[in-house]
Amino acid sequence: MCGILAVLGCTDNSQAKRSRVIELSRRLKHRGPDWSGLHCHGDCYLAHQRLAIVDPASGDQPLYNQDKTVVVTVNGEIYNHKELRAQLKSHTFRTGSDCEVIAHLYEEHGEDFVDMLDGMFSFVLLDTREKSFIAARDAIGITPLYIGWGLDGSVWFASEMKALSDDCERFMSFLPGHIYSSKQGALRRWYNPPWFSEQIPSSPYDPLALRKAFEKAVVKRLMTDVPFGVLLSGGLDSSLVAAVASRHLADSEAAQQWGSQLHTFCIGLKGSPDLRAAREVADYLRTRHHEFYFTVQEGIDALEEVIYHIETYDVTTVRASTPMFLMSRKIKSLGVKMVISGEGSDEIFGGYLYFHKAPNKEEFHQETCRKIKALHLYDCLRANKSTSAWGVEARVPFLDKEFINIAMSIDPEWKMIRPDLGRIEKWVLRNAFDDEKNPYLPKHILYRQKEQFSDGVGYSWIDGLKDHANKQVTDAMLMNASFIYPENTPTTKEAYYYRTIFEKFFPKNSARSTVPGGPSVACSTAKAVEWDAAWSKNLDPSGRAALGVHTAAYEETADTKAASQNNGAPQKPQGTLEKTATVA
């Protein structure tokens, strides 16, 4: 990941203003420690902090078209840049950077080129000929971007809030899948997939098509000129990423530089569920596995730094970001600059435990749509900012545009959790990789029930956070929380504690408004309560509190005993790779 900052249309173009832009851009240096650049043109400034992943030698930014009349600063990766270059035969490229195609595509197609990009990105492009600019963010919001406005009429864009919060009168999160054009002075949505309208899809489930799409998504993300690895918790999603990456690594360009053995990384308290499961998967896949440990106290000591970097006070996000933040520092110390991670699967396939209560396929599908649209506020934010804090880039194949379109076109009847048919959560994904002849994973790993990251690193982690917050926040403080924090009022001492830290770094109203309504409760959302009123009693976002769904559903029932006798997996119902003709 890189860090971008753009100030456009400011009234001050003095040396002092240039120095201020440089100073603010340095707040993003953790995102791009390898080089920095600044382009000034009249009343416009485009700054860049680079993390060199592709073409480290010549890909410094800002980037330009052939005559340097189009300038672009980009945070992200364009996986189809070679195909796009082939279509731009009349253009001369200066670097081997994957992001340089953006300037040339704009020159060729105008503002309507963004959907041609396959990747994760946020960029600002300045057209000096027309004295206009555009800014855009990728389809799901994998890369962060904020937009702000100054009193002098200037428009600001930055990868993180900290680079514009002091100088903008108002700012907000830039919406994923949108483009801002100075010609129109407004945001418009460029990403319009069929599923976005939440119409219920009806395509039959094709496990082989789903498998091939995911494998393609992982292979794309092996594009790198620097050392890399996979974040492996031992759960389904990260294990599938590691399994596919290890199969295809030998044939990738990366293997020519860094070898064909995949590196995997896991963190947890000693004895945690994730460490045990990840070690088992790593041994099965024969990866070069790295285990990192942290203590509850080390995590607590890092909280202020974590909240400064992730720029949110959301409870679930803070809990999960802290071990990821600590792990990223260890990963960077090994010389690794890019990792592949498993975010997004639970939103696409309804993997959260409250989906057990979905009353019908229509509501199931609509909830998955809502979760995907909110990813930029939660898991994408966590994965990006926790790793970028130490100059590490996180890539997420489950959020590949092509894969999402295929997965979200499946009739949601197939995604419904049906214990009577042996279908646990994310069964369509598990089944797609259940290959008897050439197994990707052992059965009991392939059918392992979800463990939230903040739980999987060690159950005492959350308990330790709560105990610490209880010591910092009094009953009187929480009782009067609505007066101190009338917007998104914290309802627990833990939430109150995180909010006080956030407010210290980001005191403006605009800053607190970038965080969605109060502490997110992954297993007690409004939809979960609507589906089953009993879930309203669960105020904690930990997956452990899933009211009889977690563990009991698949680890303590007769169904589980039967599964264990079948090498750890439920009996395969109709609709597997061998029999997919009808929807049960």
Q: Which residues pair with 172 in a beta bridge?
A: 147
Closest CA to 300 of 325, 332, 336, 275: 325
Q: Are 357 and 531 in contact (CB under 8 A)?
A: yes
DSSP for 26-66, please give it.
GGGTTT--SEEEEEEETTEEEEEEE---S-TTT--SSEE-T
Closest CA to 142 of 174, 111, 103, 112: 174
Q: How far apart are CA 416 and CA 419, in angstroms?
A: 10
Q: Are 382 and 522 in contact (CB under 8 A)?
A: no
DSSP 228: E
Q: How far apart are CA 275 and CA 291, in angstroms?
A: 7
- CB proximity list for 73: less than 8 A, separation 6 or greater: 4, 5, 6, 37, 39, 46, 47, 48, 61, 62, 63, 123, 124
- Token look-up 């006080």 returns 500
Q: According to the annotation, is 540 in a ligand binding site?
A: no
Closest CA to 416 of 466, 479, 362: 362
Q: Which two tokens stand for residue 13?
A: 């173009």
Q: Which two tokens stand for residue 169?
A: 């009168």
Q: Is 69 in a helix, a strand, or coil?
A: coil
Asked if 523 is an active-site residue, the reply is no
How many beta carbons lie within 10 A of that of residue 33, not counting itself?
A: 16
Q: How far is CA 159 from CA 134, 188, 384, 499, in A?
A: 15, 19, 11, 22
Q: Is 173 in a helix, a strand, or coil?
A: strand
The active-site residue out of 2, 99, 168, 380 is 2
Q: According to the annotation, is 98 in a ligand binding site?
A: yes
Q: According to the annotation, is 331 in a ligand binding site?
A: no
Q: Is 295 in a helix, a strand, or coil?
A: coil
* Residues in the chain, total: 584
Burial class, 582, CB count within 10 angstroms (exposed 0-12 / middle 13-18 / buried 19+):
exposed
Residues annotated within a binding site: 98, 231, 267, 341-342
Residues annotated within a binding site for L-glutamine: 98
Residues annotated within a binding site for ATP: 231, 267, 341-342
Active-site residues, by number, are 2
